Copies of this chain bind each other. A is one copy, B any other.
Amino acid sequence: MVRRKSLKGDYCPSARSLDAIGDWWSLLIVRDAFDGLTRFNEFQKSLGIAKNILSDRLRTLVARGILKAVPAGDGSHQEYRLTEKGRDLFPVMVALRQWGEQHLFLPGEKHSKLVERDTGKTIRLEVRTEDGRPVGPDDAVILRVPEPEAP
């Protein structure tokens, strides 16, 4: 592969995000973390991921501040928990879920569902302006950051 390109310096936030979490397993691990999993073996069983890969991904997720490793009460093992930064990925997860529900299931096919705990009401997400009007892709433009000019 000759070193995969890094977009860390890109001025597009989406690109940086993908650089940070855009590999196949990381977001699945985060999804499971949202789902309450905390332990190495729990992730491993849930995902069927190879242990060395899981080990590596947990390490980098911790290094990037998305998970934190805390020693469990009895000291026998570690717990991997979402940090604030990790929890802020919630909208990303919901967006992915929503798209999958819309487009990746056959008409009658069942899928898990995200609901509000207390009321059981469906949760969805909406793109809006700061004053609350919904917007679609065609109403949006990206404002580029001006290139630093050489004087």
A132: nearest residue on chain B (CB-CB)? B126
> How many A residues have CB within 8 A of the partner chain?
77
Counting CB contacts under 8 A, is A74 at the interface? Answer: no
B34 adjacent to A15 (CB under 8 Å): no
- The residues in A between 35 and 66 inclusive whose CB is less than 8 angstroms from any CB of B are 35, 48-49, 65
B123 adjacent to A129 (CB under 8 Å): yes
B125 adjacent to A129 (CB under 8 Å): no
Given A105-B13, A139-B117, A142-B114: A92 touches B95 (CB 8 Å cut-off)? yes
What chain B residues lie within 8 Å of A48 (beta carbons)? 5
Bound complex: CA A118 to CA B35 (Å) = 39
B17 adjacent to A24 (CB under 8 Å): no
Counting CB contacts under 8 A, is A135 at the interface? Answer: yes
Bound complex: CA A143 to CA B88 (Å) = 21
B110 adjacent to A99 (CB under 8 Å): no
A23: nearest residue on chain B (CB-CB)? B24
What chain B residues lie within 8 Å of A7 (beta carbons)? 28
- Apart from A13-B105, A15-B28, list 15 A-B contacts with CB within 8 A: A12-B97, A13-B99, A13-B101, A13-B111, A14-B28, A14-B93, A23-B24, A34-B137, A88-B102, A91-B99, A92-B92, A92-B99, A115-B141, A116-B133, A122-B130
